[in-house]
Structure 1
Amino acid sequence: MNDRLEKQYNDFERAYENLRTGAKEAKTELEIDGVIKRFELCYETSWKLIKTYLEYQGIICKTPRICFKEAFNNDLINNVDTWLKMIDDRNLLVHTYTFEQSRKIFEHINEEFLNAFKNLKDTVKKRLSKEN
Structure 2
Amino acid sequence: MNSKFEAKLANFRNALQRLKEAVDEFNQPGASEVIRDGVIQRFEFTYELAWKTTKVYLEDLGIVDINSPKAVIREAYAQRLLGDEKNWLLMLKDRNMTSDMYKEEMTEEVAERISTLYIQEFEFLLQKLQ
TM-score grouping bracket, smaller chain normalisation:
over 0.9
CA drift at 1:111? 1.5
Q: Is the 8 A contact 2:101 2:107 kept in 1?
A: no
Taking only aligned residues, the RMSD between alpha carbons, in angstroms, comes to: 1.0
Aligned to 1:5: 5
Aligned to 1:130: none
Q: Residues 50-61 of structure 1: matches in 2 within 5 Å? A: 50-60=54-64, 61=66
CA drift at 1:29? 1.1
Aligned to 2:51: 47
Aligned to 2:97: 92
CA drift at 1:98? 2.5
CA drift at 1:96? 4.6
Identity %: 33
For the residues of structure 1 that align with 2:102 and 2:2, how far apart are their CA atoms?
Answer: 37
Structure 1: which amino acid aligns with 2:52?
Answer: K
For the residues of structure 1 that align with 2:102 and 2:120, how far apart are their CA atoms?
Answer: 24
Residue 81 in structure 1 maps to residue 86 in structure 2: yes
For the residues of structure 2 that align with 1:118 and 1:35, how far apart are their CA atoms?
Answer: 16
For the residues of structure 1 that align with 2:3 and 2:41, how far apart are their CA atoms?
Answer: 27
Q: Is the 8 A contact 2:19 2:43 kept in 1?
A: yes
Moved more, 95-104 or 4-13: 95-104
Moved more, 88-97 or 57-66: 88-97
Structure 1: which amino acid aligns with 2:16?
Answer: Y
Structure 1: which amino acid aligns with 2:67?
Answer: K
Q: What is the TM-score of this pair, normalised by structure 2?
A: 0.92
For the residues of structure 1 that align with 2:17 and 2:62, how far apart are their CA atoms?
Answer: 29
Aligned to 2:22: 22
For the residues of structure 1 that align with 2:43 and 2:129, how far apart are their CA atoms?
Answer: 19
Structure 1: which amino acid aligns with 2:39?
Answer: V
3-state SS in 1 of match to 2:95: helix
Structure richer in helix, relative to its length: 1
Structure 1: which amino acid aligns with 2:46?
Answer: C
Residue segments in structure 2 that go unaligned for 5+ positions in a row: none
Structure 1: which amino acid aligns with 2:114?
Answer: I
* CA distances 1:55-112 after superposition (whole Å, capped 9, x unpaired): 0101121100010010000011111111000111011112354322111000110111
